Chains A and B, each alone.
Chain A
Amino acid sequence: NAGVTQTPKFQVLKTGQSMTLQCAQDMNHEYMSWYRQDPGMGLRLIHYSVGAGITDQGEVPNGYNVSRSTTEDFPLRLLSAAPSQTSVYFCASSERRPSTDTQYFGPGTRLTVL
């Protein structure tokens, strides 16, 4: 199993550009989520999904969209990039809910918005 994969590893955007961060898992996990990691702020939940076709907002959802058309994929879209979105983004998955099951993280995407 590849586990949780993310692309790209690095990305530089200009303010106002849009892009999609890709996340996929091959463990047939129901739950998937996106976090952003900023210095001194830990991991903050952006959006999450409890299954195909179901998504919900996390702690810091503004400026991001998600969709979950398949169990495997959970892309994160930045609609109009801003410098405040410069961060490291991690996708994670767990078999069911994170309150009972281990979360497996992807390798991360380092995003810089100029």
Chain B
Amino acid sequence: GENVEQHPSTLSVQEGDSAVIKCTYSDSASNYFPWYKQELGKRPQLIIDIRSNVGEKKDQRIAVTLNKTAKHFSLHITETQPEDSAVYFCAASRQRGGDYKLSFGAGTTVTVRA
């Protein structure tokens, strides 16, 4: 099965600075990579996703990059704000055949210092 590793496990940044979270995956057939944000005591929610036919995707202050050759993808948050403090999960899945499982990384706790 798919194994997703996520680093770092915790990240503290000054407000206004950038934050980068990196994930690697093991299954070269994986081609869908979503990112979920979970605020304290809340449910995970999708913030951005990328498919293997795209190298980079942006949505306002967040962006995701994908390197299929190296089997890693990253989340970039620019101009961090206090509301960006949360746990972020990366995930990977195959969009093919009868595959119905999304594999998650262990999560990164991001703290934005005022």
List residues of A whose CB falls within 8 A of some B CB: 31, 35, 40-45, 48, 50, 56, 58-59, 90, 97-100, 102-103, 105-108
14 further contact pairs, Cβ within 8 A, besides A42-B107, A99-B32, A103-B46: A40-B9, A40-B107, A41-B106, A42-B4, A42-B89, A43-B104, A48-B100, A59-B103, A90-B44, A99-B94, A99-B99, A100-B32, A102-B49, A105-B44
| Min C-beta distance of A45 to chain B, whole Å | 6
Chain B: which residue is nearest A97 at the CB level?
B100
| Min C-beta distance of A21 to chain B, whole Å | 15
B1-40 vs A, Cβ < 8 Å mask (1 yes, 0 no)? 1001010010000000000000000000001101000000
Docked pose: A107 CA to B46 CA in angstroms: 14
Contact in complex: A43, B44 (CB < 8 Å): yes
- A58: B residues at CB distance < 8 A: 101
Contact in complex: B100, A56 (CB < 8 Å): yes
The contact sample of 10 A-B pairs, CB cut-off 8 A, is A42-B89, A45-B102, A56-B100, A59-B1, A97-B100, A98-B100, A99-B102, A102-B46, A103-B46, A103-B102
- Which residue of B1, B49, B100 is within 8 Å of A50 (Cβ)? B100
Contact in complex: A98, B43 (CB < 8 Å): no
Docked pose: A71 CA to B99 CA in angstroms: 20
